[in-house]
Every structure is written in structure tokens, then in C-alpha cells.
Amino acid sequence: MADDREPPPLFDDEKPDKKEDEDDLFATPNEAPKEEIKDEPASLPTEPAQDKASEDLFAADDDLFGEAVKEVDTSKLRRKLTEDVDDLSPPLTPLEEPKPLIPTPADSSKAPPKKEPPKEKVKKYSQAKEPKPLIPTQADSSKAPKKDASENKNPPPKEEAKKKEDSQTKEAKPSKKEPASMAKEQPPLKPMKVSVDLHPPKPGEGEEVDLDSPETEGPSSPAKMEPDSDSSPLEAPPMAEVLPPAKPVIEEKPKPTPAPRKPSMEKSKEEIEEEESGDQFALDIKVHDPGKIGDGMGAYMSYKVTTQTSIPAFRRPSMTVTRRFSDFLGLHEKLSQKHTHIGRIVPPAPEKSVVGMTKIKMSKEDTSSTEFVEKRRALLERFLQRISLHPVLQMDPDFRDFLEQDELPRATSTSAVSGAGVLRLIKGVGDTFSKVTIKMDESDQWFEEKQNQVEALDQQLKKLHASVEALVTYRKELGISTSAFAKSTAMLSNSEEHTALSRALSQLAEVEEKIELVHLEQADNDFFLLSELLKDYIGIIQAIRVVFHERVKSFHNWQNAQQNLAKKREQEAKFKQTGKTDKIAQAQEEIREWEGKVEKGREDFEEISKTIRTEIRRFETNRVKDFRNIIIKYMETLMNSQQQLIKYWEGFLPEAKAIA
Amino acid sequence: MRSVVLYRSVIAQEGEDQDVTSRLTSSKMDNATDETNTNGTADVSDSPEADQDTPESSGLPEPTLPPKPFEPVFTVKVTDAAKDGEVVKYSLKTAKIKSESEEYKVVRQYEDFEWLEHCLITQNDIGGIIVPPLPPKPSTTAQSAEARSKKQLGNKKRHGSDDEEGNDIKLVVGDEFEKDCRSLEKYLQLVVTHPILGQDESITKFLTVREAPTRAKLKKSIFSNLSKSLGEARKGGHKDVNEFFQKERDTVNEVSLQMKEAKENYMKIVYGEQRVAVGLSHLSTALHLGGQLQEGADVVVNKLFTQFSEGLEDAKQGLEVMAVNDENTLGFSLDLYSRYLEAEKEMLYRRTCKMMEFEAATKAVEKAKPQKRQMAEAARDKAEKEFEDISKAAEKELKNFHHQRVLTFQDSLVRHADAKIKAARDTYALLTKCVTALKTLDTNFKPL
């Protein structure tokens, strides 16, 4: 125990650090953490100003048609700006570098209080919710007391470490401070929590590891991990959610992977778990070089899939294979067969498009088909990347085969069934199950809330998607108009006799042509960033529904078993009453059988409920990350568009001035 | 420094406008002076009829005096427009340039402008003058506004935005009095700064007399327009004796069409920008609508969405500003000149008619019997004089017209580009701010 106690703090020390880096990685892929810190204070001064600014905007809006239409409006916008960010006042500056990021001492002193409130809220929340977890009694927690002890000893060093870090980085404060405070405040809750989290490793990890590898690391490492994850399951979502699923990974590993690789795997168990807990970019997948293979109606598109990985389970760190669309569908099919029924959310399969494919088959090299191919390529890439980000699916042998194997057995079942058909089937299931759910007496408030939430989210996303689609159309129209005006201008320029004016007009035509491209590019960004993201999430929500449905099915199995058990018991009682002793034995046998089934049903149901919780948590973490990244990326494309406009018009200005 | 130039207030802007026009006028008159000096003819001698029709006009320079550059007497501003029942009334503010203290404020409605135009046309010899075009009557009824909105925003009902459509039309189009004011103001400025029309009595009265002139109902029959355009089509192909005019006539026909097309396409851009702005605004609203979920990840996502929606609002605002500026700078000039070129065409047509009259008279002289020869010759001489007068006036007018046209386009192109740059910069700065806020947004949350 004493030995064991040493490492954990150390581990803790590293862990949050790592996690943070990773968070940053996700958050701002292209930015050094340094900048992040610099950015922080900037939000503070702007916050209050923003309100004022929006008022001004409204005012400007009113004026738009009210009184002063000339160029006042820009001056209004301008005013808003100067009020908000004084640094920006020379309009040139924002172009080169976003200035307002220099932190002032006042700002940094303000920063901590600003971050505090949410933390407290979170804390309260966790207290309120903590006692609830579904699985009520895992009384078999022979390990629990031990855990408890080790945990209670853990906090102090951890706290110190945390504090030290706090003083260094302001970021992610809530997540860091909490463990300490929680450890203090929540000892009564701990046993419950521990038992919940300990349960899985026992059958899964512990045994398997012992069997497969004689290494000593095996058993002790979960012990090491567990306290950590236990003491901070709530404030450190990636950890909490990743740990339990790690167990099946190890279950599966021995089966497909040949012997030589195993020891290394086991040795680096901690590594893997770390990887899984955050370093999800260990798998970098690119789908590229779409190419048409064959002719006529038998033609199909093939894609190159290049993977780079640091996951040791792969034979090589980098590989490229050629896959066709139906292979992707096949992969999805295999994964969902294996994982959906135990509650895992498998990223939705890419949709098959008859129209688009027919065009390709007709070998039409027009823009719409290249657009289609690019759309699909991006879709497939996202599909694979989503799988690769999932700690369990990432390690699935079928997925690995898909990335590694040169030749893949043709997925006959899926090529026969069209993707759209499969999708429709799933959709049908999703739609009908919601009715079933209502029948199910939802004993778990968490699930009830989640289901409502997911439905609301679905509605919201669909609405947003429609809005974005409209926006894309509008933008394309604007592009077309711009191009038409460019042509008119060119003609005007031709018949203009005044040389300088003629030249300026032809320059204008060129500028407008470039601006047309800006609009079209922005329309692409609208589409590929926003629209596709929303569509992906609508698909994922569908997958979530399916998983919810699986849980309901599991519940029904359990209930059925219970009913049958009750019947059998009645029967037995009847036999006893009627004195049919000869049948009692058989009845008791049956009762035992059904008792087993009930127990199994209950376990299955609990298992799937737990998995879904983890999955949903993962989904939400990813949702926040995805939306944050995409929104930022999208906003940056908007900025880029503006920058291009500035560039083009600044290039044109001297021409205009030189007219006379 | 730049900001001073770029971000001037309305007044400054209008002052600048005035500056531009007066500059245009003075340079134009420099040309005119050169012309008249070489030709030895005075300004007004081109319009003897004007003398007769408006003998009371006091500002008329003596024909014998050496011509001096024309100084417009007034500066005009259309300051405001208000709807009074069915009628839109425009407030005009006029100041005498020489004595700034003298200010007149009058209220006019569109029919008064029509009457003014009528007086200007009938009371002056407009043969060689390109009469500034009166902007078309602004639509004031609800239906026409709706029709216009539909044209701008697209008639197609878009999926998912049907219900809000109505509101947004109001939001985007609104009342366009401001635009009408600007068009009418420009019209008055063109008239006031015109060397001949600017001295007309009716414009002075129009600007200074409080009571609106009695409005005779003008009958602009469709037929007269029709017959005129028919005539234009018939006589348009008539070969010109003068190469300069022949070329001018050829180009103006071509350019006026192109100008109209350019204007229409340009307005499509403006509408397109407005439409994208509407799209952005829809999206931004939709982002807000989701804000009722208050748990777990939703809190964070909602925070993101709120910030994002603010960013989209900024982008939308930027686009709207661009659309308005587009319309007010280049769009305004394109619109003005698509009409002004028509006026030029009409002037050339009037000259062509005179030319044909002269040719006919020449032929008549050849065919005339001896006893009628003298009369025919007199008629021919008269026609020739008229034709020469009109040609001379027209040539001068055309030079000024084109000079002014180039200056106007320069001005509007410069302002257009300036406004674009500025709006894009401002939008960029706002977006930068938004992205910074997004990046620093605390995305930690407690999963449920």
C-alpha cells in the first residue's frame, strides 16, 4: 500500500497537466497555449461593452432607413468599435494582428473571480446528483474499503500539486480545484461511487489481464488508476468516461492480435489508458484521392485511406489502403452489429446517393459531380475520424482491419442493401421506439431527461440546418449576381471612351470577379463547416436514439424474465399446494434457470445503462469540442472573407482615384 | 486622418457632395468659357426663346457682356420626407450661395417636382440641353412596397423561414423616403447647377416661395411617349452629317443599354447582400431559439451559440452596411446615369429632328419653283440656323456632360471602394473580437 501511495500523486500531477494540453489541443488546434492565456483577459473588457455595442447596433439598424442612410451606417459600426476596443481605432490594425489581447494587470486580477462562480455551481450540482447513480448496490465491493483508504490519503498531495499548478496557469481552474474540495466534502458519497466504477474492472480487466499477461503491472495499474478517476470522475469527464470502456478493449485484444504484440500492449497498459483518456489524435486518418474505377453502371469510386498512428496495436505507424464506398458501409455494419446492442453510439454511416453516383457512372465531369465527390470524401473522412476518436471503436479489430488490410473481404451484405435502405431501416426503428419508450416505466430520471434533451437537440439542429442551407443558397445567388455585374462592367468598360474611366471599369470587373469567388468560397465554408457539422450531429442523434432503444429492449428482456420467474414461482407454489411433489423439483430447476436469466437481464440492463451514460457523456464532451472548433473555424473563414474584400478593394482604390 | 475622410457625418457628407457638384460646375464652366470664347457667342444666345419666355428672370446676364463662369445661385438640400396621408411631403432647405444668411425652407411633393420639370422644359429652349432626369415617382402605397420587397428578397419561400418572412421584409426594406430624398436632391442640384436651367425663374420660385405653385394636372399620355420612341426608332438610323454626333449617337445607344443592365445587375448584388444578411439573421435567431436547454453540455453549447450568434449578427450588420453603401455610392450613380443617358439620347434625338428638318428644307429649295424659291430659301436658312444653334449647344452640353459623368463616376467609385474597405475592416474587427471571445469562452462543464 505504501508503495502504491507514492505513485498516485505523481500520477495526478502529470495527469491533469496532460489532459489540459489535450484540451487545448482540441480547443485551438493551431494555437500555442501561450496565446490562449493571452487571449483570456481580453474577453473581460469586451463583455460589458458588447451589450452597449449591440444597443448601438440596434440604433444603427433603426437609422438604416430612418434618417441618415448615406455612409453614416458605417460610422455607426465604427463607433461601436471604438467604444468596444480602443486599440482598434486605426482601422488598419485589425487586419494585421488582433491587438486587444494584451493583458493588463487589472484584467488578470479579474480573471479568477470570473471563473469561480461556475465552479461552485458545478460543485453543488455534483453533490445533488451524485447519490443517484442507477446501480444501487454493488455490495461485493471487497476492494471498496481499501480504495477508500487509499483515496483519503490521496487528496492532500494532490491538492498541493493542484495549487501549485493553479498559480501557474489560470486555465481550467474549475476542473483542478474541484477534486480537492470534493475529496473533502464528499467522503460519504465515495463508497457508492467507487463501487460503481470498480465493478467493471473486476470481471473485465483484472481477470483478463491476469490470464493473458503474467506481468505485475496489470493488477496494480487499475488500482492506481481507479482512485484517480474515482476522486475526480465528475470534474474530469474524459477520464471518467474513458476508463470503463477501456475494459472491453482488453477483452478484445487477445482475440485478433497475434501473440508477439501482446506483451507490449500489456506493458504499456497505462500508456494506452492515457492515450485513450485524451490522446485521441494518436490516430490520424485522411481520406483522399477519390478515383473512378471501371466504366458504365459498374463503375464505382475508390478512395485512399491513409492512417498515421502511434497506437501499438497497428502493425505500422503509417499505412495507406484503397477502399470503396461500400467498404465504409460494411465497416459501419460490422461495428453497429457489435456495439450498438451494448449501448455504444456508432457514428452514423455515410448516406448513399443514387443521383450523385449515377452522374459519376455516366462519367460526367461537370462541377456538380466533382462537388459531390468532394462532399462524399469529406463525409467519409469525418466518419472514420469519429470512429477513431472513440476509445473503444478505435480499437475494434474490424476497424483496424479496415485501415490496415490491403484486401478487404467484399462486404456483400451491404453492397446488396443500399446504404439509404439501411438508413431508412434504422430511422424506422428510431421512430417507432420512441412510442415503446413511453410504455417503459422509466425508473431512471437521468434517462428521461436525456431523452427529452436529445429530442430537443434534434429539433434545434434541424432548424439550424435549414437556416444554414438557406444561407448557402443566398450566398451562391450573391455570387451569381456578382459575376453578372462583373460582365456588365466589363462591357461598359469596352464602350467607355474616357481611357482612365475605361481602365477603372475593367479593373472593377476584375475585382468583382474575384469577389464572386470570395462569395462562392464562403458558401462552401457555410456548407462544409456548418451544414455538414449539423447534419453529422443529426445523424449521431439518430444513432443515440437507436442506442436508447436498445436499452428499452434490454429492459423488456429483463422484465419478461421476471414475469416468467414469477409465473414459475406461482407454479411451484401450486405444485406445493396440490402436493404434486414430483413436479416440484422440475419447477425449482426452472426457477433457478429463470432466476439466472433475471439476474442476467438485470446485469445486461445495468450494463447497457452504464455504457450509455458513458457514451452520452462522451458525446456531450465531443459536441462541445466539435461545435467550439467548428464555430471558431467558421468565424475565421468569415474574417478571411472580409480580409480578401479589403485586399481587393484596396487594390482597386488607386485605380478609381486615378480616373481624373 | 483617414478616418476624417472616411467617416464624416451626414452633414459633412452632404457638404462634400455639394463641393463635388460645385467643383464639377466650375470646371464645366471653365470649359464652357473656352468654348464661348472661341465661338464668340454668349451662353444665353443659344436660347433666345428662353429670353422671351422668362423675361422677368433677373439673374440673366447681358448677352453683350463677356460670359463669366456660371455660378449656381442656390444650394439645395432635401432634408426630410414625411408621409401626410397618401402624399409624401419633402422638406427642402435652400440657401443662397452668395449670402449664406438667406435660407428658404419649403415643403414640396412629387407632383410639384413634375410641374417644375414641365415648366423647365416648356419655358426654355431645351433643344441642345440634356435635361436632368426627374427620378421616377416613388411608390408609396403598401402594395407597391410589398411588391418591391418581394423583388428584392426573392419571392421564393425558403424552407424553414416561411413564418418569419413577413417580418424580415419590413426589416430590410422599410421606407425608402431617404433614397427618394437623395434622388430628388440630386435632381435639384443638377438643375440648379445647370448654366441655363439654373437661371430659370421657375426653379427659383420652386425653391424659395413658400406656397407651392398651382399644380396643373399634367397629362403625360402614353401615346406621346410611344410615338416619340417610335420616331426615335425611325429617325435613329438617319445618317448624321457630323461625325462627332454620329459617333455620340452610336455610343449613347449602346452605353445606355449597358448602363441599364449594369444598374440592374448591380442592384441584384445589393439585394443579394441583403438576402444573405437575412439568412445570417435567421441563423442567428435560430441559434438563440435553442437556448432553453439549461443542463450539462447544453449550457456550454448555448454559451457558444450565443457568442456565435453575436458574431453572425456582426457579419450581418456588416453586409447590410455594405448593401446600403453600395446603393448609395455606385448604385446611385449607375441609377442616375441610366436615366441621364436617356436624357442625352432625347437631346440627340431633338437635334436629329432639326437636322432632318434642315435637310428637308434644303431639298425643298432644290425642288422649289422659282417664285417660291425665296421663301424656301428663307425656310432653309432658318432651319440651318436652328440646326447649327442646336448642334453648337449640344456639343458644348455633351462635353460638359461627359466631363461631369467621368467625375461623378470617379467620385462614386472611390467612395464605393472606400466604403467597402471600411465596412469590411469594421466587420473584420468585430469578428476578431468575437473569435477572441469564443476562444476564451470557458467550455468546461459538468456532464450530467
Whether the per-residue pLDDT at B176 is higher than 70: the answer is no
- Interface confidence, given as ipTM, is 0.76
For residue A607, which amino acid is it? E
The answer to whether residues A201 and A248 touch, using CB atoms and an 8 Å cutoff, is no
- Chain A interface, best mutation among B183, B265, B271, B434, by max A CB count within 10 A: B265
Q: What pLDDT is stored for residue B146 in this prediction?
A: 62
CA distance A100 to A45: 10
Terminal CA-CA length for chain B = 56
User: Checking DSSP bridges between strand A318-324 and strand A300-309, what pairing results, if any?
Assistant: antiparallel
What percentage of chain A has pLDDT greater than the value 70? 50
pLDDT digits (tens, 9 = 90+) for A169-196: 444 344 444 444 444 444 343 333 333 3
Alpha-carbon separation of residue B185 from A29, A556, B20, B141 (angstroms): 55, 79, 14, 22
Q: What pLDDT is stored for residue B63 in this prediction?
A: 40
Surface of A (22-51) touching B: CB under 8 A: 27-28, 31, 36, 39-40, 42-43, 46-47, 50
Q: What pLDDT is stored for residue B149 in this prediction?
A: 61
The answer to whether residues A299 and A293 touch, using CB atoms and an 8 Å cutoff, is yes
Alpha-carbon separation of residue A604 from A245, A425, A552 (angstroms): 15, 25, 11
CA distance A606 to A142: 20
pLDDT digits (tens, 9 = 90+) for A285-332: 889 888 887 777 777 888 889 988 887 777 788 888 888 888 888 888
Residue with the larger pLDDT of the pair B13 and B374? B374
Q: What pLDDT is stored for residue A58 in this prediction?
A: 42
Closest CA to A660 of B14, B411, B172, B426: B411
Q: Which residues contact B248 (CB under 8 A, 6 or more apart)?
A: B348, B398
Q: What pLDDT is stored for residue B9 in this prediction?
A: 33
Alpha-carbon separation of residue A348 from A108, A591, B133 (angstroms): 44, 41, 63
* Cell of residue A176, nine digits: 483542478
pLDDT digits (tens, 9 = 90+) for A87-96: 433 443 333 3
Average pLDDT over residues B380-409: 89
For residue B380, which amino acid is it? R
Closest CA to B338 of B274, B405, B403, B249: B405
Whether A482 sits inside 8 A of B269 (CB atoms) is: yes
Average pLDDT over residues A197-211: 37
Model confidence at B292, pLDDT cuts 50, 70, 90, reads: low
Whether the per-residue pLDDT at A28 is higher than 50: the answer is no
Lowest mean pLDDT among A263-267, A589-593, B103-107, B276-280: A263-267
Chain A contact set for B321 (CB, 8 A): 60, 73-74, 77
C-alpha dihedral, A554 to A557 to A561 to A564, nearest 10°: 160
Q: What pLDDT is stored for residue B277 in this prediction?
A: 92
Chain A contact set for B329 (CB, 8 A): 71
The answer to whether residues B432 and B302 touch, using CB atoms and an 8 Å cutoff, is no
Residue with the larger pLDDT of the pair A41 and A348? A348
**3 state SS of B81:** strand
pLDDT digits (tens, 9 = 90+) for B36-50: 333 333 333 333 333
B24 → chain A, closest CA residue: A660
pLDDT digits (tens, 9 = 90+) for A106-152: 444 443 444 344 444 434 444 444 444 344 334 443 443 444 444 44
For residue B7, which amino acid is it? Y
Closest CA to A98 of B311, B310, B436: B436
Closest CA to B312 of A478, A468, A71: A468
Model confidence at A644, pLDDT cuts 50, 70, 90, reads: very high
Q: How many angstroms away from the CA of B13 is the closest CA of chain A?
A: 8
Rg, C-alpha atoms of chain B: 28
Q: How many angstroms away from the CA of A557 is the closest CA of chain B?
A: 27
Q: How many angstroms away from the CA of B99 is the closest CA of chain A?
A: 27
| Mean pLDDT over the full length of chain A | 65
| Mean pLDDT over the full length of chain B | 73
Query: In angstroms, how far is CA B55 from the centroid of its own chain?
Result: 31
The answer to whether residues B204 and B123 touch, using CB atoms and an 8 Å cutoff, is no
The reply to whether A621 touches chain B by the CB within 8 Å rule is yes
Q: Which residues contact A26 (CB under 8 A, 6 or more apart)?
A: A625, A629
Whether the per-residue pLDDT at A624 is higher than 70: the answer is yes
Q: What pLDDT is stored for residue A244 in this prediction?
A: 38
pTM, entire model:
0.65
Whether the per-residue pLDDT at B125 is higher than 60: the answer is yes
Whether B406 sits inside 8 A of A498 (CB atoms) is: yes
CA distance B33 to A487: 39
Alpha-carbon separation of residue A586 from A537, A590, A591, B26, B158 (angstroms): 53, 6, 9, 118, 69
Whether the per-residue pLDDT at B429 is higher than 90: the answer is yes
Average pLDDT over residues A336-358: 80
Highest mean pLDDT pick, A4-13, A49-58, B131-140: B131-140
pLDDT digits (tens, 9 = 90+) for B139-159: 665 555 666 666 555 544 433
Model confidence at B226, pLDDT cuts 50, 70, 90, reads: low
